Amino acid sequence: MEEMLFYDRMQFAFTITFHYLFPQLTMGLSLIIVYFKWRFLKTNDTHYNKATHFWMRIFALNFAMGVVTGIPMEFQFGTNWAKFSELTGGIIGQTLAMEGMFSFFLESSFLGMFLFGEKILGHRWHFVTGLLICLGSWASGFLIIATHSWMQHPVGYEILKNGKFVLTNFSSLFTNVWLWPSYLHNQAASMVTSSFVVAGIGAFYILSNRNVSYGKLFLKTGVIFGLISSIIVAMPTGDLLAKNVVKHQPATFAAMEGIFHTEEKGAEIVLIGQPDVKDKKLDNKIAVPNVLSFLTYGNWDTEVKGLDQFPEDTHPTNISGLYYAYHIMVGLGTLFIGVMLLSAFQLSREQLYKTKWLLWAFLFLMPFPYIANITGWYTAELGRQPWLVYDLLRTADGASPTVSSGNTLFTLMGFVGLYALLGMLYALLVGKIIYNGPEPEKH
């Protein structure tokens, strides 16, 4: 059973990790595209309209990849996680079905209009279709996170005698205290990814002395959007989300921070350290006294509970993985704020385009928001274990008893091979779009 559960989780982790490389760009990029089109309507500067078309081509590829890689996850609910689907389908099935309507129908319909209908629609209606694509992608994310939030903090439910969950209050799904901080945190993080991608490609054009006017436009836009979103990720959304974890999942919070023993007179915040789960301690740690108590409770001396206060069978099942995922996310988020603040300062001094080391930094940093987003999701998912529905349904009780570990491993290897090919094809197509640029170079 343990082997079967391991491969079930590995397969879902791999497919969802690869899948989320694409929506995290499309959600943020859709808003930047709407901004470019709005700026064109305001200024009648064709650079903004050509920038709109350029990024829409990249958006369309990402959207297609997101759809293709998202479908297998839906099937896994019925194969590897059939028991979970049987017990909770009356609740999560509603939000997932609504997400499908937004993703497959609303977004894809208006995406076709936006890509091919500018001449027929005119610029103002073209802008409206872009805005509807943006609303559709953000609504899709909202419904997915509503599902996830219910699993983290179940509300508005009743458990029948046969063990099935039924919804007793539909509106509670959307007023869940876990939902809005999670959603806004996720969307701001998506904006960080898209901002670094836009700024990074802008830096590439400036450094290569090609499409320089577009490079400056992309870099400036990426820095402005990136500065705002990277701050929102930390405050207030990240702070509110952390306070939710403290209140509703205190054992998870202790594991995230590496607190094995309760700190009664103020908890230190650990900057660097390696968790030794066996001996229940952090090795080689560098910490700042009492800061964690202040950030969590607003008081320097407040007690913070450690894992020793909770039964071991309720501890997260991968404390080391959870600890490292959380600290990678926080560390990268702090780095992003610093880079964007410095870049905004240079932009205000009209020196950003000449600061080559910052331009190279943007090129180098393009993959890192993806890493931060993925480790953020790992933090949420590893933190919820050993539960599928927190404190109500254990992960082991949601797996399909009739799907063998050999079958799951075989299909996992198939996914790895197929996704490697899809990833290479995607990289080639996006690379070609970037190489060609927003408009042909004049020689």
DSSP string, 403-436: S-HHHHHHHHHHHHHHHHHHHHHHHHHHHHHHHH
Q: Which residue type does 143 have?
A: L
- Pull the structure tokens for residue 340: 């964007």
- Pull the structure tokens for residue 374: 């993925």
314 found inside a domain: yes
What does each C-alpha distance from 15 to 20, 51, 241, 386, 430 come to in angstroms? 9, 32, 25, 20, 21
How many domains does one find in the chain? 1
Report the C-alpha gap between 348 and 342 in whole angstroms: 10
* Mean pLDDT across 312-325: 95
CA atoms within 13 A on the CB side of 302: 12
217 found inside a domain: yes
Confidence of residue 147 (pLDDT cuts 50, 70, 90): very high
Domain range holding 195? 179-403
Q: Are 56 and 113 in contact (CB under 8 A)?
A: no
309 found inside a domain: yes
Q: Are 197 and 25 in contact (CB under 8 A)?
A: yes
171 found inside a domain: no
386 found inside a domain: yes
pTM of the model: 0.95
Percentage of residues of the chain with pLDDT beyond 70: 99
Q: Are 203 and 362 in contact (CB under 8 A)?
A: yes
Lowest-confidence segment of 31-40, 180-189, 295-304, 357-366 by average pLDDT: 295-304
Q: Are 110 and 129 in contact (CB under 8 A)?
A: yes
Instruction: Say how many C-beta atoms besides its own lie within 10 A of residue 171's C-beta.
Output: 8
**How long is the chain?**
443
Q: Give 250-296 pLDDT, tens digit per residue.
A: 999 999 999 999 998 889 999 999 999 999 999 999 999 999 999 98
Q: Which of 433, 22, 442, 443 is nearest to 204 (CA)?
A: 433
- E-only strand ranges, 242-370: 269-276, 281-288
224 found inside a domain: yes
Q: Which of 85, 90, 83 is nearest to 165 (CA)?
A: 90
Torsion-angle region of residue 71: left (phi > 0), alpha (psi -120 to 50) or beta?
A: alpha
Place of tokens 């297609």: 64
Confidence of residue 102 (pLDDT cuts 50, 70, 90): confident
Q: Give 352-369 pLDDT, tens digit per residue.
A: 999 999 999 999 999 999
Confidence of residue 310 (pLDDT cuts 50, 70, 90): very high
Report the C-alpha gap between 61 and 38 in whole angstroms: 22
> Does residue 339 carry a pLDDT above 70?
yes
Residue 49 three-state SS: helix
Q: Are 356 and 320 in contact (CB under 8 A)?
A: no
Ramachandran angles phi, psi of 274, nearest 5°: -120, 120
Confidence of residue 331 (pLDDT cuts 50, 70, 90): very high
DSSP 1: -
Q: Are 152 and 390 in contact (CB under 8 A)?
A: yes
358 found inside a domain: yes
Report the C-alpha gap between 416 and 262 in whole angstroms: 42
Report the C-alpha gap between 15 and 65 in whole angstroms: 12
194 found inside a domain: yes
Residue 353 three-state SS: helix
The separation between CA 251 and the C-alpha centre of its own chain, rounded to angstroms, equals: 23
- Please name every residue paired with 270 in a beta bridge, in sequence order, or none if there are none: 287
Report the C-alpha gap between 215 and 437 in whole angstroms: 10
Report the C-alpha gap between 304 and 296 in whole angstroms: 9
Report the C-alpha gap between 423 and 15 in whole angstroms: 13
